[in-house]
Structure 1
């Protein structure tokens, strides 16, 4: 995976901004990030021409006011990093399109956005950006605390699960190598198991055994850099692996969940996988990092911006 050298932080002038600035500071310190774009998007204002003629500095003053508020917030909650160059950008238009375009133009490595729980707002933007961004996406629920002691990486032992695991290893390595990574595989019992002559419990043991074998094959392909990785095997009882993932994250007191986006090529770029989709929808407690190999969606940006 790649280092987070260029970071976009999406602020919206709400109470959640403080949390996002704290996370941006944490990410920047761990990664020695070089460039951070604090961004606020104003929805299309549709101000009549007559009003703009009467008050020609209206938009300019609004933009400067918002930049000033962002700067004040960053000065208060962002730990100074002498190597990081900070930019403050205010744009007008549709939020997802403006962020996607900015990420493409700046060749961003990560976008940080918030997940509102009690504050007003929706999670639609998270899903759109996760599908369409050409880089990784960190979704931070309100009141989250930036720390890395335990990370949960759900895995089906695929290539995009490998991306997520390598990202987790790189994060922990940069953080000092002491944090723990838990690799969770959620397996289910096929409905036709009884045709084999095995009991439910016997077939569950067979499925878990194969999960263990596949994990060993999976982890052998990855340079763990000596970091402790604990495999976890969870039997899905209700055909809802997302509930199993969130329950396990709660059980181990995870500081974050890392999952790989399914779309690794331009042909599959709009598909992040049903598991990632549902995690984005249902998770409102744990910071969620959706990893994507940088630039994989860049080839379809023009199409995306027309949607």
Structure 2
């Protein structure tokens, strides 16, 4: 059973906060969550001299905490025990990573605005450094999740995400679909016919699925789809299939074996995050990777 001992919800005082808090409530109503931390950091470096001249030494932290309290009272109520944390630090990523470690946060909920409204630069940084799994909720997202897409590449991290998704579907009655995007070694064309290459590639992948099902019998019966990347990236194929299948959530496993934090996220999750998908994106780290 999936249970969350602590969840952190990152707020930025924009319009998306209300949706994010309401989505946090939806999670708490469907999964056991011990405690939720609603957090916001005031970047002291962004407080200009003009601000100080106009407003003086106002207790900004108390004002913001009051604003967040109003939103939480309206959209979260008493869905789970919760606490509001407002800090004043020059580096938001560092303080949030520290909160994850301090409160043993297992899941961070992060809002994402559409392209044109924000660069989402802070979100990209948080994906790279927060030592926990992250659920990204786009401003166009919906709460009624019924179908979940899990792309896998047969790595340990993607298999972990798949097994976690299976546990989630058993708890909540969700429909799962596995997806694998493959590429053909085009440098060998026309020496080998494209038709034969496609057939051989799909045979190899199906053998991998069979071996995976033998190793993890709990995933037997979950439908899977093979998609050729062709002239598109893996992330683009995932996005197209996500829209075509009308899935309500996308789950991706994250690799964490690179010692350089800025390189540990992976190109596919990065490209997916930076695209305009309109469903929640669950980026999953395994406990071993986090440790």
Q: 1:221: how far off?
A: 2.7
Q: 1:119: how far off?
A: 7.0
Q: 1:162: how far off?
A: 0.9
TM-score, length of structure 1 as denominator length: 0.84
Q: 1:55: how far off?
A: 5.5
Q: Is it true that 1:210 corresponds to 2:204 in the alignment? A: yes
Contact between 1:149 and 1:180, CA under 8 Å: does it hold in 2? yes
Q: Is it true that 1:126 corresponds to 2:123 in the alignment? A: yes
Q: CA RMSD in A?
A: 2.5
Q: 1:289: how far off?
A: 0.8
CA distance in 2, matches of 1:174, 1:15: 31
Task: Point out the more displaced range, 23-32 or 4-13.
Answer: 23-32
Q: 1:281: how far off?
A: 1.5
Q: 1:237: how far off?
A: 1.1
**Ranges in structure 1 where 5+ consecutive residues have no aligned partner:** 299-307
Q: 1:33: how far off?
A: 0.2
Q: Which residue of 1 aligns with 2:107?
A: 110
Contact between 1:5 and 1:31, CA under 8 Å: does it hold in 2? no
Q: Which residue of 1 aligns with 2:87?
A: 91
CA distance in 2, matches of 1:110, 1:229: 25
CA distance in 2, matches of 1:247, 1:185: 13
CA distance in 1, matches of 2:98, 2:217: 34
SS of aligned partner of 1:290: strand
Contact between 2:110 and 2:137, CA under 8 Å: does it hold in 1? yes
* Aligned with 1:72 (options 70, 73, 94): 70
Contact between 2:252 and 2:269, CA under 8 Å: does it hold in 1? yes
Distance 1:224 1:18, change over 3 A: farther
Q: Which residue of 2 aligns with 1:36?
A: 36
SS of aligned partner of 2:178: strand
Q: 1:139: how far off?
A: 1.0
**Ranges in structure 2 where 5+ consecutive residues have no aligned partner:** none
Aligned length: 285
CA distance in 2, matches of 1:212, 1:13: 48
Q: Which residue of 2 aligns with 1:200?
A: 194
CA distance in 1, matches of 2:123, 2:83: 23
